[in-house]
Structure 1
Amino acid sequence: MKILSKLIAVSFAASAIFFSTNVKAQTVAANKFTFSLGAETGVPTGVARLGANFVLGASGKFQYGVTNNFAVTFAAGGYHFFPKTDPLTNKKYGSYGEIPLKIGVKEFVIPNFYVAAEGGLAWEKLEGNQGWAPFHRRDLAGGIGYADKHWDLGVRYEDFYMKDYHSGVVALRLAYGFGL
């Protein structure tokens, strides 16, 4: 949790610093909407790394340019956590998925390079016919990336938290975007 807190604090601090200065990194078109579709891959963190070894996902993200270097985002998607084999029984742990819904901010600190912070909720989908987990989790994410008119390549840490239960992912997202 300490790493997550520091990453989110750094993301928000960097956004505040660069938002309050006169940066000319005009990567976002002011007063315009864009939409991107992305593929994501990563490694599980927290409790998730005990039973999973790889994460694969997809996401869609709406972005609205408030200024030429600051945007508000809304993201939704899904991750699948691929299970490890239990060394005691030689059987696979159960696989599961997370479906996050998040809002956030994206600040271009220099042309094409950004810091981002997002927050929302995530729901867990259990393997097979087990259905949905009976709870949702808080979802916080912070990251950095490179984006041009169509392509977005970003790295982020995402934490799914509920009481004393932390799971998450360090993910790489490659997305293609277009104006609306």
Structure 2
Amino acid sequence: MKNLSKLLAAAFTIAVLFFTTNAQAQTTPAKSFLLSLGIETGIPTGVARIGANFNLGGTARLQYGITNDLALTFTAGGYHYFTKKIPGQDKRYSSYGELPIKAGLKEFFLPNIYVGGEAGIAFEKLEDGWGPHRLVLSPNLGYANKNWDFGLHYDHFTHKEDHFGIFALRVAYGFGL
């Protein structure tokens, strides 16, 4: 819970700093592309909390502006889960990661403020090989200007009876193509 409080405090601070600046145009004008490279950090939820404290990753997102307020998104990247020590033992749980590939929409409902959603597939990378692929659903909310994108998102991973997720913050720098 401490980590969640710190993540929310950091997101609030960033939001305050950027809301006090002048509004910029939407990040992906109609009929143009924007590529953003982001660093992400998050807190595992569900069964992932048993063996991991937090995750760190990177993503690349390609956006295409359908209108000045609506963009198609395609996101790919990877998340590494930093594992905990096994209770009563002097070793850690096995290391793992998720490699998501997602597509979705991003709608600017206020200047610089967006809501979005993505869906796709994630491949699990284990220490000794590959795990199952999972459906990933990811709603997000954020602030973006011409170059910077700060977004909060929840990635929900599911495979048969196995469900878990991450609540994460993405900080990205973008540039037009």
What residue is the counterpart of 1:80 in the other structure? Answer: 80
What residue is the counterpart of 2:140 in the other structure? Answer: 143
Ranges in structure 1 where 5+ consecutive residues have no aligned partner: 1-24
What residue is the counterpart of 2:4 in the other structure? Answer: none
8 Å CA contact retained: 1:57, 1:78: yes
Q: TM-score, normalised by structure 1?
A: 0.83
Task: Please tell me whether residue 98 in structure 1 is matched to residue 98 in structure 2.
Answer: yes
Q: What is the CA–CA distance in structure 2 between the aligned matches of 1:43 and 1:95, rounded to whole Å?
A: 15
Query: Partner amino acid for 2:63?
Result: Q
What residue is the counterpart of 1:30 in the other structure? Answer: 30
RMSD: 1.1
Deviations 1:87-134 (A, max 9, x none): 12232001101000000000001000000100000000002xx1111x
| Alignment: residue pair count | 153
8 Å CA contact retained: 1:26, 1:69: no
Q: Out of 118-127 and 160-169, give the one that drifted further.
A: 160-169
The alpha carbon displacement at 1:26 in A equals: 5.0
Task: Please tell me whether residue 157 in structure 1 is matched to residue 154 in structure 2.
Answer: yes
8 Å CA contact retained: 2:31, 2:64: yes
Q: TM-score, normalised by structure 2?
A: 0.84
Q: What is the CA–CA distance in structure 2 between the aligned matches of 1:124 and 1:167, rounded to whole Å?
A: 12
Q: What is the CA–CA distance in structure 2 between the aligned matches of 1:51 and 1:169, rounded to whole Å?
A: 13
- Of the three residues 152, 155, 175, the one matched with 2:172 is 175
- Report the identity percentage: 56
8 Å CA contact retained: 2:25, 2:145: no
Query: Partner amino acid for 2:158?
Result: Y
The alpha carbon displacement at 1:168 in A equals: 1.3
The DSSP-based 3-state class of the residue aligned with 1:88 is coil
Q: What is the CA–CA distance in structure 2 between the aligned matches of 1:56 and 1:167, rounded to whole Å?
A: 16
The alpha carbon displacement at 1:143 in A equals: 1.0
The DSSP-based 3-state class of the residue aligned with 1:49 is helix
8 Å CA contact retained: 1:104, 1:117: yes
